[in-house]
Structure 1
């Protein structure tokens, strides 16, 4: 007889194919965007110049200060601290293991971003337009990819650990924050808008693949439990 845990795991886990579909669709869009950028040798497209010029001409001083605060939280130590917190929250009793899992999950999103940036080697907007410090290639935006990956981890943690009536509101907060980080990169003049779009697409593809991986792992674990209990009977 199957154990209640194994039965629950099979019936409550979502199917893997929607996450796979998201990963495939976002990967295809990202490949198309990278191909267009590469064919132009990294030069910005029309929408890049239009939105870049609009952001520089429309940003008041207070918006620059807000954008700096938002962008600082989207990478480096703050981002990894949030990823570790998300993992610890999601894992409950195994908090240290969860914190390590969250940190490694963020690393797994960073590695393809670094490789893709080196492959595309797209220059940033002119340094005279920057309102904050920046380094490295432009596409995909590192802050954008990192913050959206962290937002995915935080959303999973909220859905696992937050009270039911607060989940819809709390689940939206990380996504709003990650979107704000991406927009701040354009506001500060350090990225073209298509760099930010590439970061969102990469993070979405990563999230889809991670979702497939987790669902299949849970199903395999449930199957192992079921087989073990079948052998014991």
Structure 2
């Protein structure tokens, strides 16, 4: 929890934690770059993408009852839904950490806000550069709208994922922590699944946005590690040289 001091045997050091998060970020960036290249170059991987898409569509046609639920899941990627959730988490945790007098209380909320700001920037730039056709088609959208990567997937994943990261240190009780730690990834997987199910995106559009999410949330997690380290650091000024 925020402000908890003392080292726990077996825990990773600060450097090790940052190294793990840095590695995750690099892997996410590499996955995003490879998928972008594959989609741009075409070939066998894109044909496989089409076969996966057609399997989703055949399955959706065979199970129409899931359609309504899938469409509601897709709406979680709307900016009007996802961003307010993150803003509430940013404001709430910033207020709680500042009230508790924690050092660097502003760092995790600021990192989460920056991650959310980067989503439309990166997604728009890549969409305009790749200009991928709509799902199942080979001709780009005449309006100029690109489908790679999925903006709804990136928006929901970064917003809900960052909100969960911010709230997790403040959660009280095992059930609350379990909902945040396990329920959030399952929800984000369901949103991406629904976007393909409803024929809004190619599977690789969603997969690329998940890779981008790994990059951005690794930064948020690193900010939390640094803030927690500052909160756990002993107050050197509280001890005099003669204290035993």
Q: TM-score, normalised by structure 2?
A: 0.73
| C-alpha distance 81-124 of structure 1, shift in aligned 2 (>3 A) | same
Distance across 2 between alignment mates of 1:170 and 1:218: 19
Residue 222 (structure 1) shift: 8.2
In structure 1, the residue matched to 2:179 is 169
Residue 204 (structure 1) shift: 0.5
Q: Which runs of 5+ in 1 are unaligned?
A: 128-134
In structure 2, the residue matched to 1:148 is 157
Runs of 4+ residues deviating >4 angstroms: 9-14, 100-104, 216-223
Is the 1:151–1:174 Cα contact (8 Å) retained in structure 2? Answer: yes
In structure 1, the residue matched to 2:22 is 20
Structure with greater helix share of residues = 1
In structure 2, the residue matched to 1:131 is none
The structure 2 residue matched to 1:38, chosen from 40, 55, 58, is 40
Residue 53 (structure 1) shift: 1.2
| C-alpha distance 79-33 of structure 1, shift in aligned 2 (>3 A) | same
Distance across 1 between alignment mates of 2:199 and 2:167: 33
Q: Which runs of 5+ in 2 are unaligned?
A: 100-105, 138-143
The alignment covers a number of residue pairs equal to 216
Is the 2:28–2:214 Cα contact (8 Å) retained in structure 1? Answer: yes
In structure 2, the residue matched to 1:58 is 59
Structure 1 residue 118 corresponds to structure 2 residue 112: no
Residue 62 (structure 1) shift: 2.1
Summarize deviations over 1:10-55 as a string: whole Å, max 9, x none: 98985211100000111112111111111129x9712221121122
Summarize deviations over 1:204-229 as a string: whole Å, max 9, x none: 11111333344446657988x979x5
Structure 1 residue 180 corresponds to structure 2 residue 190: yes
Distance across 2 between alignment mates of 1:88 and 1:38: 40
Distance across 2 between alignment mates of 1:26 and 1:202: 6
Distance across 1 between alignment mates of 2:47 and 2:55: 12
Which sits farther off after the overlay, 213-222 or 73-82? 213-222
Distance across 2 between alignment mates of 1:50 and 1:191: 13
Secondary structure at the residue paired with 2:134?
Answer: coil
Q: TM-score, normalised by structure 1?
A: 0.76
Residue 152 (structure 1) shift: 1.8
Distance across 2 between alignment mates of 1:44 and 1:186: 17
Summarize deviations over 1:184-215 as a string: whole Å, max 9, x none: 11011111101110010010111113333444
The structure 2 residue matched to 1:195, chosen from 182, 195, 205, is 205
In structure 1, the residue matched to 2:141 is none
Secondary structure at the residue paired with 1:16?
Answer: helix
CA RMSD of aligned residues (A): 3.4
